[in-house]
Structure formats: structure tokens, C-alpha cells
């Protein structure tokens, strides 16, 4: 276990951790990308799932290239974990792009009916044209796409009204291809999540790691938690203070140590268990216990 001592060398190493190099593109993800391309012609509408906490970072740039002009509905999933005011900014952002973005909370089912109606709306002309050609009315065929751990299985379960897909708070749970019959004369083709081959932007990589779209095992958990504390100290300092009943330190490391002392993460004497502190902060952020937090807003894109 790594221990951060308050000496000049270690402190300098932590404060200068400016780049987090992640290059993670397993073979099964390439196969999934190819699968999306192959099956796109079978569906009428694509439902693109984004994480409400990181709508920009959770958007796979490959998806635009694959979908192209196919009708699309954007779902801002896990809305119950996001900042409601910032979420409104994202809904407006997509509206300005002539795309409907629907906020969904799979715990309560809020937004599911709106999603179904919007899928029918964007495919209305196509379905009417088929009927005019004498074709028999058939179910509207949907495809769900998104990165790992964005909540596809939970969405499917809500759409079907039953537990039809395996779910879990770990990336990579969904495997293979599934056709699922839905209510309202809809059919859904589920596909595994895909992630792009390289993270050019460190902020995107970190946001994905914070929300567990990237497996914790391939990252330094303590550095990751330190980066999250740094981010939250900037955009939601009051929520950190309220959750942990602490004063913010002059540096993220000091804040991390304050949290550790408050939570009793002490090994012996005054030596802190940084791994335990890291797990506490990351898990409580992911579970929404620190508060409803959105890590990015549309104006962040304009800064690119």
C-alpha cells in the first residue's frame, strides 16, 4: 500500500501528476464497434445513452461516425445522481443541435415513457411511408449504444417492465447481442458498451474513471481519488464540506487527509490509510452520497 508522507519529494510527485496515460481498447470493444456498423441497417432509431454526470466525457466520438444520419434520441441517464440545474443546460445544448435529450432515472422509471414516445416520434415518417407502400405494420426497432457502465441494462429492464438483462455497477457486464421485445410495439437490439481507443484529453479520462466507466484496477486508486477531490473542491466545495464535516485544505492532499482523519482512516499513531480514504471518496461520489453532482457543463466544450 502506498503511503503519502509529507515530504518535499512525495508532495511534488503528487502535485505534478499532470498526465494520466490511459490506453485501453480491448479486442471485444473493436468487435462491438464492428457489430454496431453491421446491425445499424436493422434498426429504425438509435438511443444514445450518456451519463448525466459527464454528458460530454461519456459520449463516444465513434458513435457519430457510425450512426451518421440515422434517427437518434439522446438519453441523459442516471439523472438522479446529477445536478438538476446543470442538467437543464445539457438538455438545452442538445435542443440547439435539433436533438431531443431525455433525462432518465431508472430507479423510479422517470423519463422512460418520454423516451418511448420520442422513439415513435422520430420514426413516424418512416413507419408511415412503409405502410403506404403496402408493408405490414411492424415493431419499431431500436438500438441502444453507449460506453460501459452508463446503465444500458437498467434502461432495458425499465423498457420491458421486467428484469430481462443482467445489470451491475461494473463495466463489461453486458456481453453479446440481445433482441428484446418491448411494450408499445417496439423491439430493441442491445449491444455491449464501447470505449474509444485512446484518451487524448486527460479530463475525459479522469471523468470516466471517476464514474467507473473504466475499471479501477487499471488506475492508481489513490491518485484518482486525489484528482476527484481536486475537482470537487473546485466545482462543489460546499458538498465536500457538508458530507465530511471538514475544512478544505490549502491543497487537495490536505483535504484528503482531513477526510481521512474525520473518518478514522488511521493505521497507527498519525499514519493515514490513503487507500481506504480513496475508496471512501470514490464510492460515496459514485453512489451520490456526496450530493447531486455534474462534473462538466456545455461551456466546457467551448474551451476545447
**C-alpha cell read off for 192:** 455491449
154 is in an annotated binding site: yes
- Answer whether 92's CB lies under 8 Å from 66's CB: no
Q: Is 92 annotated as a binding residue?
A: no
Determine whether the annotation assigns residue 80 to a binding site: yes
Annotated ligand binding at 27? The verdict is no
Q: Which residues pair with 140 in a beta bridge?
A: 186
d(CA 100, CA 63): 17
Cell numbers placing 6: 509529507
Q: Is 51 annotated as a binding residue?
A: no
Residue 35 CB neighbour total at 10 angstroms: 17
Q: At what angle do helices 274-286 and 252-262 cross, to 10 degrees?
A: 90
Question: Is 176 annotated as a binding-site member?
Answer: no
DSSP result, 13-61: HHHT----------HHHHHHHHHHHHHGGG-SEEEEEEETT-TTTT--H
Instruction: Name the nearest CA neighbour of 32 among 159, 174, 140, 170.
Output: 174
Asked if residues 274 and 259 have their Cβ atoms less than 8 Å apart, the reply is no
Pinpoint the alpha helices (H) of 215-286.
221-235, 237-244, 252-262, 274-286
Comparing C-alpha atoms, which of 45, 184, 168, 48 is closest to residue 104?
Answer: 48
Residue 23 in marked binding region = no
Q: Is 34 annotated as a binding residue?
A: no
Is 258 marked within a binding site? Answer: no
Residues belonging to the binding site for GTP are 77-80, 149-154, 193
Q: Return binding residues.
A: 77-80, 149-154, 193
Amino acid at each position: 500500500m502506498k503511503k503519502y508522507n509529507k515530504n518535499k519529494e512525495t508532495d511534488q510527485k503528487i502535485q505534478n501528476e499532470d498526465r494520466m496515460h490511459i490506453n485501453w481498447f480491448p479486442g471485444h470493444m473493436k468487435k462491438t464497434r464492428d457489430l454496431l456498423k453491421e446491425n445499424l441497417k436493422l434498426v429504425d432509431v438509435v438511443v444514445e445513452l450518456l451519463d448525466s454526470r459527464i454528458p460530454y466525457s461519456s459520449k463516444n466520438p465513434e458513435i457519430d461516425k457510425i450512426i451518421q444520419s440515422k434517427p437518434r434520441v439522446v438519453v441523459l441517464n442516471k439523472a438522479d445522481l446529477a445536478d438538476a440545474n446543470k442538467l437543464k443546460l445539457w438538455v438545452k445544448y442538445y435542443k440547439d443541435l435539433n436533438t431531443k435529450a431525455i433525462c432518465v432515472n431508472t430507479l423510479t422509471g422517470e423519463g422512460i415513457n418520454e423516451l418511448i414516445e420520442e422513439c415513435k416520434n422520430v420514426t413516424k415518417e418512416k413507419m408511415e411511408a412503409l405502410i403506404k407502400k403496402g408493408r405490414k405494420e411492424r415493431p419499431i426497432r431500436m438500438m441502444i449504444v453507449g460506453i460501459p457502465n452508463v446503465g444500458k441494462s437498467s434502461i432495458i429492464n425499465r423498457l420491458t417492465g421486467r428484469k430481462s438483462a443482467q445489470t451491475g455497477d461494473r463495466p463489461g457486464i453486458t456481453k453479446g447481442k440481445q433482441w428484446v421485445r418491448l411494450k408499445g410495439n417496439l423491439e430493441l437490439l442491445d449491444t455491449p458498451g464501447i470505449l474509444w481507443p485512446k484518451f487524448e484529453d486527460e479530463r475525459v479520462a479522469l471523468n470516466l474513471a471517476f464514474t467507473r466507466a473504466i475499471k479501477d484496477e487499471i488506475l492508481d486508486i489513490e491518485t484518482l481519488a486525489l484528482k476527484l477531490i481536486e475537482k470537487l473542491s473546485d466545482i462543489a466545495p460546499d458538498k465536500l464540506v457538508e458530507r465530511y464535516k471538514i475544512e478544505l485544505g490549502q491543497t487537495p492532499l490536505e483535504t484528503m487527509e482531513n477526510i481521512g482523519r474525520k473518518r478514522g482512516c488511521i493505521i497507527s499513531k498519525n499514519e493515514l490509510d490513503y487507500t481506504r480514504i480513496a475508496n471512501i471518496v470514490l464510492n460515496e461520489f459514485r453512489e451520490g452520497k456526496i450530493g447531486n453532482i455534474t462534473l462538466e457543463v456545455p461551456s466546457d466544450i467551448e474551451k476545447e
